[in-house]
Every structure is written in C-alpha cells, then in structure tokens.
Chains A and B, each alone.
Chain A
C-alpha cells in the first residue's frame, strides 16, 4: 500500500536510549494523524524525524513516492508548528509569515498578497504590523500556524500545538484548528499526550509506547477494539481485574471472576485459551445493583460526579478496584454493592493474556 506520506520502519536511538523503535505508518493525502502516548514514548522524536531535524538510524520517510530521509529540513517543504511556537521575536507578524515565502523567492505584491491570505486563513487579517510580544497566546499560536501554512507545505507537523494555551481557550482553538486543517486539506501529523485532543482532532490515532507503535486506528476503533491491555488502559477510562477464562459458552466467553461466573457477550473479546487472563472494563460496561448471586461484591469507596452520571470506585472483596458509572446518586461511599456487566456492554469489556509476573 502506498500512501501520501509513509514512515517505513523508522528507528532512532539517543546514546543507547531507544526513542523510536521500528515505527511504520502510512497517511493518505489530507489525513490528520495524531501521535498519542505517555511522556517519553517518542512522539516528539517521531515528529522531528519527519521534519528532518533528526536523522533516523534506520528506516525511511517517503512523501509522494519521494524518499526524503536524507533531505535537509530546509528542502523538505514540511511546515512545522513548534510547541512554544518559535516565532521570531524581532520580526513582526507579517515578516514572520513572509519568512518562509521569501525562501521560495516570493516577492513584492505577490508576497504581500500571500501573507494576507495566510493571516486571513487563521482569522488574523490586518495583523501584519503587530509585534509578536503584543499578541496573546492564542494569537501567537495562530501566527505560527499561518507561518507554517504560508509556503503551502506538503505536510504539516504540529508538536503539542495546544499545550501552551489555557484550558478554556484550548477547546475553542482545537475546534478552529480542526476546521482550518480540513479546509486547507493538508496532510497533518500532530503530537499530543491528551486523549481528548487526539480523538477530537485525529482522523486516526497512533498510540506509542516506548518508541513502539501499539496500535493505529480511528478513535472509535481504538476505544472499541483496543489491540492490547496498554491501549485499552491508556485510551479512555477503564479498570482491570484478574479473571480465569473457562471457555466458550452459549452466548459468549465464560470467565470466572472473584468466585462468580460471567458470560461475556461481547463480540470484541478475542478468543483466549482457558486459564488466567486480565479483564479490562470501561466504567459504562458495568452496572451496580444490590449484592446478589452472580455479582462481584464490594464496597463503594469514592463517588465522583461527572455531569450526566457519577463514577463510583468499588473496592471488591477480592481486593480489586473497579470503576463503574451509574446514575448520580444511586449509591454512596460506604454502601455494599454488587457489580455485574451492563446489559448493553457493546465493546466495553476486553480480555487480554494476563500480565507476566
């Protein structure tokens, strides 16, 4: 399969620390890919390999069938928005945006026109003569975007583009950013460590851990069909509990958990051989009821209100901690409750081979 932008088996070490480990990804033209992962997982390094600021130890970067692995950043025509924007403080807004266009030899009227167009794109028309220091954080972010988009790069790279904005602004800017990038139709890779951001902005999301690609897919896929325990736990809320796989039943997989037997109707659950396994559960895939046969029994230790529902933390008698969502005031801390799979669990319960000790 050949896409617009391909990362082929990229690897990069720093003094023996593996930052990126045999990473392969393919993007279609106009696609927006989020790189998501915990701190130190190699997101920034991947982006810098794409931009050409780092040279991979192995692997290739291909754009439009064109191998750019050894091409200097200057010649790559990849636009980049830096985490702290890296706007040139001694140039005004217009000069910043003009900088990349001048590299392409654009001059005079044409230059002014294209600078104005780029600024118009980010809703900063007429800001040409403002000084960088006079702009708000959100405006600086947009200038950085206009500057990167001005030369019409082949690929747009964004390193935690919203991390420098305060939370209230972040949501709005995220929406604007999504609209803008879709309007421009540019192939985009962006780094984030926030799942909300990845899900909201990315057409697809690539989850990294320790430099390795754990899974790549649409947000829906990642949530409903996590490839492994790490993805299941990292993406979305979940809690996990040790179980014993008993074998297939009439409607689904039968598991033994804390002395009771559940039959998981969930089609997503991969078939595992009988034996110990780890069950990862979304809060909405469980429900609370009175202690009853067939339910795991435990005590409510915490209640957190999150708008339409509450999240209850249950310490089971077997010593596991489960997070279960339910109607806001159904139970209170201290109550003894039973936990059962909810009837419409669709995609919320996953079985994985148990962790090697």
Chain B
C-alpha cells in the first residue's frame, strides 16, 4: 500500500470513529438509559410506557397525522406541479415560482403566520366576527385539523418539487408516442405518465412523511390537548420523567426507521430506462382563451392564498404593542418593532446568536461532508458505507430525538466513556445543528462528486498538479454549485431551527425561534412577527443565492 492510500485509510478511520461518537453513540445511550433505573437494569419505564393510554395515543397521532399529511400534500402538490410544468399559459413562470414559496418559511415562522392569519384572534377570524357581528371567535385553530392545515401548506412543496423534477426528467417523446398510439389525455396520464413518475412521487412521499413525523412547531403551538410523540417527549421531560422520555424517544426513532425501511424502495428507485434520452417534454400551450383566463385567475388566487401567511407576518410586524385587539385590520403601524431588534442589545442578541450558530454549524458540516465525500467516493476507503450511513442517519431520526440524545450523552463527565458536560454550555447547540446539517451537506457533496467526471481530476494529476492543488484548483471549483446549494439549505435549516433549540438552548445561545416564542408569550406580537420577517427574509435571500449559484455551475 502506498503512503497516500495509508493516509486516506487512517483519515477514514478517524472520521468513522468521530461520527460514531457524535451520531450513533448518543442514540445508543438514549436506548440504554431507558432501561436503567436507580438499582440497575429495569423494564419499569417500558411498562409505564405501555400502560399509559396517552403514550399509545401520541404515537398513533404521530403516525396518522403523517399519513394524512402525505395524502394532503400529494393531492395539492402533484396537480399543481402538473399544471405549472406541463401546460403553458400567461403568468405560468411567475406563479410556478411562487408556488414553491412555502419552502422559505421556517416551520415556526409558518406556524405563527398561520396563527396571525387563521387563529382565533387572527385576521380571518376577526374579519368574520366583524362581518357577522359575532360575540365569539367563529372558530378555534386547534387540534389535529390545525396541525394538518399547517402541514399541508408547508409540505405540499415537497411533492410539487419532486413532481416537477420527475416531469422534467421524462423523455418528451413519450407523451407524443402515447398520442400517436391513440391514447387520450387520461389514459396517457394513468398508463404512462404516472407510472413513470412513481419514483419521484415516492421520494416526495418519503420526505413528507419523515418531515411530518418529526414536525414539532405545528403540534406544539396548535396541538392543544392533541399530542403527537414529539410534543409528548418534550412534555414528559418537562415533568422530569427523564427515563420515560427516553423510552418515548426510542419508540419514535423505531417508528421513523420502520417507515424508512417500508419506503426504502422510494429512495432507491431509479429511472427504469436508465436515464433520459431525447429531450424534456415541451410545455403544452393552452389554446382556449377561456381556459387560459380561468387558469390565470386560478393561478393568481392560489398565489394570493399561498402568499397570505407571508403578507400577514409582514403586516403584523408593523403593529405597535397592545394596539390591535378586535378590529379586522390593525389600527396603527410603526417601525418600532424592527428598531427594537437592532437597538435593544437583549433583543439583538438572538439574531446574532442564530447567525453565528448557523454559520459555524454549516461550515463544520460542509468541511466534514467534503472529507467524508472525497474519502468515500474518490478514495473508496474501507468503511465508506458506514461513514455515509452515519452521515445520513440524522435525516431519518426526528430532531427531538437527537436533541434528547445529545442532552443525555453530554450531561455527565466520563472522559473515558467519551462523555463530557456540554449541557448548559455554548457548545451543545452548535453541535446539535451540526449533526442535523450533516445529511444535507453530505448528500450534496456526494451527488456533486458523483456527477464530476473523475478524469478531470486525473487530468490535473497527469498535468503534474499535486493533490492539494488538484483539490483547490479543480475539484473544489467544480463542486462549488453542489456546495453552495447544500450549505445554503443547511444554513437555512439551522437558522430557523426550533425543535432542537427548545431543548438545548441556554440563555447565552438563545436563538431567534425561542425569542419569537417568548415574545408571543408576552403578547408582543409585533416583535414576534418582526423576528419572523427577518428569519424569513434571510432564509429567502440565502435560498436565492443558493439556487442562483447552484444552477450557475
């Protein structure tokens, strides 16, 4: 073996051990802790878990909410994608872009926007109350229905994007072949297009299901008496029943892994034809004038509905504290809320916190993903499957679970067992963000490396470029689109994180999401909304840069 290969193998082992310690070890500890009582091993908490009705209900709630979310998201997202990416009519481009907008709304921000919009003291509710002179709010945004509403709104985007990509990857001649064989629109759709889109739809379903299973913000704010497992875990921990929380965490993890296993086909499914030949399908112009008009109208109504939460947030962010009670529209507006965010050091802190936490976590995640990617795709070191598996694991495991796992692993000092006290320090939160970012960045790096023709790097080597120079001058520049896309997604996720933050933050690291929550608790809706707008704007800007750079490669 050459020294270069030796070095790669050694780095591979170090990386593997590090990832096992950071990702797998805390999960194992959670699993173990659930079976440990004050006098050694015990099944006490398992029994407790099995006996309590509300535990089963929470688990069942998580499951059925996720299944229904998948169905709703598909019913909205697939037809929309088909409409906007199969047919051509005025305004299609703009509207087709707007439809993907919920993607830039971090979960908690989406939830509070819905609260302001559809909540019992939100715009629509007040409007109805005012219109019909009602004494009471006409509805309460609570329980499973409210959660599903928010889920459907924020997650149809997955189906939309997957269907769009699936459509674009088809050979356009397939549509024409079906037509020339006498198949009408429906038969073509049913027999040809849908079957060809199955892999894409499967991908969308899996992503939606996992996201919904891990969803925390919506059930936390809107759940009321209705519990899903993520909120149940947090409640149990708040009660101090740490061991029971461990069992709950384990049950949720198992549910996620079983779902992943059942839907594994969706991840592996490839285009059965082995890639497209021919050209992507051309858009079908809508010829009938009335139909065009109807589609345009539909598109704009839709865009408005989709934009309403964003607009609501913006509007509320200008409302001075305590001025808006029962009027359908706020009576007064001010810049005050934004000024507070900048001027008041206590208010500005969470902004800076989220910025540095997300940046640090993203940079570290990209670095680790790069080393791991090069080692496993190019050097093909031993243990590369394990490395990539560990990197993907946090994707399958809900954020709440990782939060508990990290909090458990790093709450005692046992250096020999690889455990240190990080709880209550600055370091736990960025570590959690890092773990959650690893799947995103590593997937981007691996995809980028796979798409990169190795002969380019070989060419550089044959031109006498040393390993570092090849990396710096050839590999990294060519990987840039993938890196930018992956890191912008990672940054946005970390920047808006609520799930892990709520369990791991300290006063010094409190991020924006927590500040939104506390402003809301103090009925400071204007400030909460202003934070939300900042979060949304930064996410959108980073996304835009990511999309721009990602495509300019």
Question: Which partner residue on chain A sits nearest B194 by CB separation?
Answer: A90
B171 at the interface (CB under 8 A from A): yes
Expressed in whole angstroms, the Cα–Cα distance for A132 and B178 within the complex equals: 16
Task: Please tell me if the beta carbons of A151 and B173 are within 8 angstroms of each other in the complex.
Answer: no
Task: Please tell me if the beta carbons of A89 and B180 are within 8 angstroms of each other in the complex.
Answer: no
Task: Please tell me if the beta carbons of B176 and A89 are within 8 angstroms of each other in the complex.
Answer: no
Task: Please tell me if the beta carbons of A104 and B174 are within 8 angstroms of each other in the complex.
Answer: no
B319 at the interface (CB under 8 A from A): no
B-contact 0/1 string along A67-90, CB 8 Å cutoff: 000001111111110111111111
Expressed in whole angstroms, the Cα–Cα distance for A78 and B184 within the complex equals: 15
A-contact 0/1 string along B166-198, CB 8 Å cutoff: 000001011011111111100100011001101
Task: Please tell me if the beta carbons of A73 and B176 are within 8 angstroms of each other in the complex.
Answer: yes
Question: Which partner residue on chain A sits nearest B182 by CB separation?
Answer: A103
Question: Which partner residue on chain A sits nearest B191 by CB separation?
Answer: A99
Task: Please tell me if the beta carbons of B196 and A89 are within 8 angstroms of each other in the complex.
Answer: yes
Question: Which partner residue on chain A sits nearest B188 by CB separation?
Answer: A74
Among B178, B182, B183, B184, residue most surrounded by chain A Cβ atoms (within 10 Å):
B182
A42 at the interface (CB under 8 A from B): no
With A77-B182, A132-B273 in contact, do A88 and B177 touch (Cβ < 8 Å)?
yes
Chain A residues in the interface with B (C-beta under 8 A): 51-53, 72-80, 82-91, 99-100, 103-104, 131-133, 147-148, 151
Task: Please tell me if the beta carbons of B173 and A99 are within 8 angstroms of each other in the complex.
Answer: no
With A89-B272, A133-B272 in contact, do A99 and B176 touch (Cβ < 8 Å)?
no
Q: How many A-B residue contacts, CB cutoff 8 Å?
A: 84
Number of interface residues of B (CB under 8 A): 24
- Residues in B with CB closer than 8 Å to A151 are 181-182
Task: Please tell me if the beta carbons of A148 and B180 are within 8 angstroms of each other in the complex.
Answer: yes
Task: Please tell me if the beta carbons of A82 and B278 are within 8 angstroms of each other in the complex.
Answer: yes
Could you say which of A83, A131, A148 contacts B278, with CB atoms under 8 Å apart? A83
Give the secondary structure class of B's interface: helix
Expressed in whole angstroms, the Cα–Cα distance for A72 and B278 within the complex equals: 22
- List 24 A-B residue pairs with CB atoms under 8 Å apart, sorted by A's residue number: A51-B180, A72-B179, A73-B180, A74-B179, A74-B180, A76-B180, A80-B176, A83-B173, A87-B177, A88-B174, A88-B178, A88-B195, A88-B196, A89-B196, A90-B196, A91-B191, A100-B181, A103-B182, A104-B182, A131-B272, A147-B177, A148-B180, A148-B181, A151-B181
Expressed in whole angstroms, the Cα–Cα distance for A62 and B277 within the complex equals: 32
Expressed in whole angstroms, the Cα–Cα distance for A76 and B187 within the complex equals: 17
Query: B315 to nearest A CB, angstroms?
Result: 42
- Residues in A with CB closer than 8 Å to B191 are 88, 91, 99
A-contact 0/1 string along B466-506, CB 8 Å cutoff: 00000000000000000000000000000000000000000
Top 7 nearest A-B pairs (CB, nearest first) are A103-B182, A100-B181, A89-B273, A86-B173, A84-B277, A86-B177, A73-B179
Query: B452 to nearest A CB, angstroms?
Result: 26
- Residues in A with CB closer than 8 Å to B177 are 80, 82, 86-88, 147
Among B180, B183, B196, B278, residue most surrounded by chain A Cβ atoms (within 10 Å):
B180
Task: Please tell me if the beta carbons of A82 and B176 are within 8 angstroms of each other in the complex.
Answer: yes
Task: Please tell me if the beta carbons of A133 and B273 are within 8 angstroms of each other in the complex.
Answer: yes
- Residues in B with CB closer than 8 Å to A78 are 180
Task: Please tell me if the beta carbons of A86 and B272 are within 8 angstroms of each other in the complex.
Answer: no
B274 at the interface (CB under 8 A from A): yes
Expressed in whole angstroms, the Cα–Cα distance for A75 and B181 within the complex equals: 9
Which chain B residues (193-238) contact chain A, with CB distance < 8 Å?
195-196, 198
Expressed in whole angstroms, the Cα–Cα distance for A223 and B25 within the complex equals: 80
Task: Please tell me if the beta carbons of B184 and A86 are within 8 angstroms of each other in the complex.
Answer: no
Task: Please tell me if the beta carbons of A86 and B176 are within 8 angstroms of each other in the complex.
Answer: yes
Query: A307 to nearest B CB, angstroms?
Result: 34
Could you say which of B181, B192, B198, B278 contacts A147, with CB atoms under 8 Å apart? B181
Could you say which of B174, B184, B196, B278 contacts A74, with CB atoms under 8 Å apart? B184
Expressed in whole angstroms, the Cα–Cα distance for A79 and B182 within the complex equals: 9
Expressed in whole angstroms, the Cα–Cα distance for A99 and B184 within the complex equals: 12
- Residues in B with CB closer than 8 Å to A52 are 179
Expressed in whole angstroms, the Cα–Cα distance for A53 and B277 within the complex equals: 19
B519 at the interface (CB under 8 A from A): no
A74-B182, A82-B173 provided; 6 other pairs, C-beta below 8 A?
Answer: A74-B184, A75-B182, A83-B278, A86-B176, A99-B181, A103-B183
Expressed in whole angstroms, the Cα–Cα distance for A85 and B180 within the complex equals: 13
Among A78, A84, A87, A148, residue most surrounded by chain B Cβ atoms (within 10 Å):
A84
Expressed in whole angstroms, the Cα–Cα distance for A75 and B179 within the complex equals: 8
With A51-B176, A72-B179, A99-B191 in contact, do A89 and B271 touch (Cβ < 8 Å)?
yes
Task: Please tell me if the beta carbons of A79 and B274 are within 8 angstroms of each other in the complex.
Answer: no
Query: B97 to nearest A CB, angstroms?
Result: 23
Query: A41 to nearest B CB, angstroms?
Result: 19
Question: Which partner residue on chain A sits nearest B276 by CB separation?
Answer: A84
Among B177, B178, B187, B191, residue most surrounded by chain A Cβ atoms (within 10 Å):
B177
Could you say which of A53, A88, A132 contacts B192, with CB atoms under 8 Å apart? A88
